[in-house]
C-alpha cells in the first residue's frame, strides 16, 4: 500500500466541479437559510440552539475517537467561555473544558488566518484545557503537545480487528515522516489562507466554493497527520473554521454528530482518498478527490438537516409554552412534556404511549392515562390510533404525527 503524499504531484488535488456544483449550491443555500432563521428569531432561542449544537459537536467529535465527555461538564464549560453565566461554573473535567475552549476559539477567531500557532494552541487546549497548571502538565506528558510530532518512528494508523492470529496488526495508513512536517504544514497553511486558490495549478484562477475548500482542507490535514494524537478532532475543527470563513459567521450545524453515527463510512472514505497502489503513484487520477468531496458535501447537508430539526424543536418549545402559559398543568405533566421536547422526534419517532409516559414520569399507568387525556383535552397533545396502538404527539409544527 502507498499513500497520496508519496505521489509526485502531491498535493495538487483535482476534482470535477460539474459533478459537485449542484451539491455545493444546495449546501450553501441551506446554510444561508439556517443562519437566517437564527438571526430572525428570539435571542434566547438563538443562543439555546447554538449552545446545543456546540455541546453536540464537542461530545461527538470526541466520541468518534472513542473518548466520552460528560455532557453537563461540556455545557458548563461552554457557558463559561461564552460568558452566559454571571458566576463562572466550576468544571473539574479538564478534557471537557479544553474541548469547549477549542470550539469557542474556532467560533470567535475564524476571521483570522489559520496559523501554526493557532493549531498548536488548539492542541494544548484539547489535552490540557486552559486552566492553571496546564503548562506543567504538558511538560510531564508522554505526548508531544502543542507542536508537531517529532518521533523518528513512523506514524501509523493500525487496528487489530478480526485478528487472524495473536499479535497481528493491520496498517491502515502511514503518515509522512516527522522531519517533513514543518514544510508540509507550511504549504498547507499557505494554501488555506489563499482562499481563492485552487490546489491544482491548472485551475488556480478558479474561485473554490467554500464547502469544497473545507473538504480539501480536512483531507489534506488528515493525510499529513501532524500531531501525536488529536488529528481527527483538530481536523474537524478546521472544517468548521473554513466553513465559517466562507459563511462570514459561525456555522449552524454539528458535522461530528452525523459522522459519529456513520463513522465506519467516514474512516473508509478517508482511507480510500488517502491510499493508492504503488503502480498509481504517477497516475494523475489518484489526486482526483471528486468522490471524497461528494461524500463530504452530502454529509454536511445531512448534518444541516439535523441541525434544522433541532432548531425547529427549540422554537416549537418556546411557542408551545407561550401558548400554554395560562393553561393549568400539573408539575408532573410539565416535567414529562419537557422530557419529550428534550428527546426530540428521534427520541419518540412513533409517538408516546401511555406506558412510555408512565415510565418517563415514573407514575402508574392509570395516572399516565389520566394525564394524557387531560393534555389532549387542553390541546397540548394530538393523538393517533386506537386501543394499544394509541399514540400521543406534542401539538407543535415539528411534532405532528404526519
Tens of pLDDT along 254-273?
Answer: 999 999 999 999 999 999 99
For 96, 123, 311, 380, the CA distances from 60, given in Å and listed in that order, are 12, 17, 18, 33
Q: Is 321 exposed, middle or buried (0-12, 13-18, 19+ CB in 10 A)?
A: middle
Give ranges for CATH 1.10.10.10 in the chain.
325-394
- Residue 401: the pLDDT is 42
Quickly state the pLDDT bin for 61 (edges 50, 70, 90).
very high
For 33, 125, 223, 238, 243, the CA distances from 220, given in Å and listed in that order, are 29, 22, 5, 11, 16
Q: Give backbone dihedrals phi and psi of 21, rounded to 5 degrees, phi first.
A: -60, -40
- Residue 274: the pLDDT is 94
Rounded to 10 degrees, the C-alpha dihedral 122/125/128/134 comes to: 100
Quickly state the pLDDT bin for 165 (edges 50, 70, 90).
low
Q: Name the pairing type of β-strands 2-3 and 275-276.
A: antiparallel
- Residue 202: the pLDDT is 42
Q: Give backbone dihedrals phi and psi of 173, rounded to 5 degrees, phi first.
A: -160, 145
Give ranges for CATH 1.10.3290.10 in the chain.
2-311
What topology is assigned to 325-394 in CATH? Answer: Arc Repressor Mutant, subunit A (1.10.10)
Q: Could you give the residue ranges of the DSSP H alpha helices within 129-180?
A: 134-139
pLDDT of 134 above 60:
no
- Residue 278: the pLDDT is 67
**Secondary structure string (H, E, C) spanning 310-323:** HHHHHHHHHHHHHH
Q: Out of 164-168, 294-298, 397-401, give the one with best mean pLDDT.
A: 294-298
> Three-class SS of residue 229?
coil
For 110, 137, 139, 325, 380, the CA distances from 399, given in Å and listed in that order, are 35, 48, 52, 19, 11
Quickly state the pLDDT bin for 163 (edges 50, 70, 90).
very low
pLDDT of 368 above 80:
yes
Peptide bond between residue 11 and the one before it cis (omega within 30 degrees of 0): yes
- What is the CATH number assigned to the segment(s) 2-311? 1.10.3290.10
- Residue 255: the pLDDT is 95
- Residue 17: the pLDDT is 94
Residue bearing cell 387525556: 373
Length of the chain: 402
Q: For the CA atoms of the chain, what is the radius of gyration?
A: 24
Average pLDDT of the residues of the chain: 88
- Residue 40: the pLDDT is 78
Mean pLDDT (whole number) for 76-81: 93
Encode pLDDT of 3-29 as tens digits.
999 998 999 999 999 999 999 999 999
Amino acid at each position: 500500500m502507498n499513500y497520496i503524499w508519496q505521489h509526485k504531484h502531491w498535493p495538487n488535488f483535482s476534482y470535477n466541479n460539474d459533478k459537485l456544483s449542484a451539491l455545493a449550491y444546495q449546501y450553501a443555500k441551506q446554510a444561508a437559510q439556517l443562519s437566517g432563521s437564527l438571526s430572525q428569531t428570539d435571542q434566547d432561542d438563538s443562543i439555546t440552539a447554538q449552545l446545543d449544537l456546540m455541546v453536540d459537536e464537542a461530545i461527538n467529535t470526541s466520541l468518534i475517537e472513542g473518548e466520552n465527555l460528560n455532557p453537563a461538564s461540556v455545557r458548563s464549560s461552554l457557558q463559561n467561555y461564552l460568558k452566559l453565566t454571571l458566576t463562572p461554573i466550576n468544571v473539574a473535567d479538564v478534557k471537557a473544558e479544553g474541548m469547549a475552549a477549542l470550539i469557542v476559539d474556532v467560533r470567535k477567531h475564524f476571521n483570522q488566518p489559520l496559523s501554526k500557532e493557532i493549531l498548536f494552541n488548539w492542541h494544548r487546549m484539547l489535552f490540557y484545557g486552559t486552566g492553571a497548571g496546564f503548562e506543567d502538565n504538558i511538560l510531564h506528558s508522554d505526548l508531544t503537545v502543542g507542536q508537531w510530532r517529532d518521533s523518528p518512528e513512523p506514524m501509523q494508523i493500525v487496528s487489530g480487528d478480526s485478528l487472524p492470529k495473536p499479535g497481528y496488526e493491520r496498517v491502515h495508513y502511514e503518515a509522512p515522516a516527522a522531519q517533513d512536517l514543518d514544510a508540509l504544514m507550511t504549504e498547507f497553511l499557505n494554501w488555506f489562507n489563499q482562499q481563492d486558490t485552487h490546489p491544482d495549478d491548472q485551475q488556480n484562477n478558479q474561485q473554490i466554493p467554500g464547502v469544497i475548500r473545507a473538504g480539501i482542507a480536512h483531507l489534506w490535514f488528515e493525510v499529513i497527520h501532524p500531531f501525536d494524537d488529536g488529528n481527527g478532532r483538530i481536523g474537524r475543527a478546521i472544517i468548521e473554521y473554513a466553513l465559517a470563513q466562507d459563511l462570514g459567521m459561525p456555522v449552524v450545524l454539528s458535522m461530528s454528530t452525523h459522522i459519529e453515527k456513520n463513522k465506519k463510512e467516514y474512516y473508509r472514505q478517508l482511507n480510500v482518498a488517502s491510499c493508492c497502489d504503488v503502480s498509481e503513484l504517477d497516475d494523475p487520477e489518484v489526486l482526483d478527490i471528486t468522490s471524497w468531496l461528494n461524500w463530504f458535501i452530502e454529509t454536511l447537508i445531512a448534518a444541516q438537516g439535523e441541525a434544522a430539526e433541532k432548531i425547529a424543536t427549540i422554537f416549537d418549545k418556546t411557542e408551545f409554552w407561550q401558548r400554554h402559559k395560562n393553561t393549568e398543568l400539573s408539575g408532573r405533566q410539565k416535567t414529562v412534556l419537557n422530557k419529550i421536547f428534550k428527546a426530540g422526534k428521534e427520541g419518540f419517532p412513533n409517538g408516546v404511549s401511555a406506558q412510555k409516559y408512565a415510565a418517563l414520569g415514573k407514575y402508574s399507568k392509570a395516572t399516565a392515562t389520566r394525564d394524557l387525556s387531560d393534555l389532549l383535552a387542553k390541546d397540548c397533545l394530538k393523538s393517533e390510533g386506537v386501543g394499544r396502538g394509541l399514540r400521543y404527539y406534542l401539538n407543535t409544527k415539528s411534532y405532528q404525527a404526519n
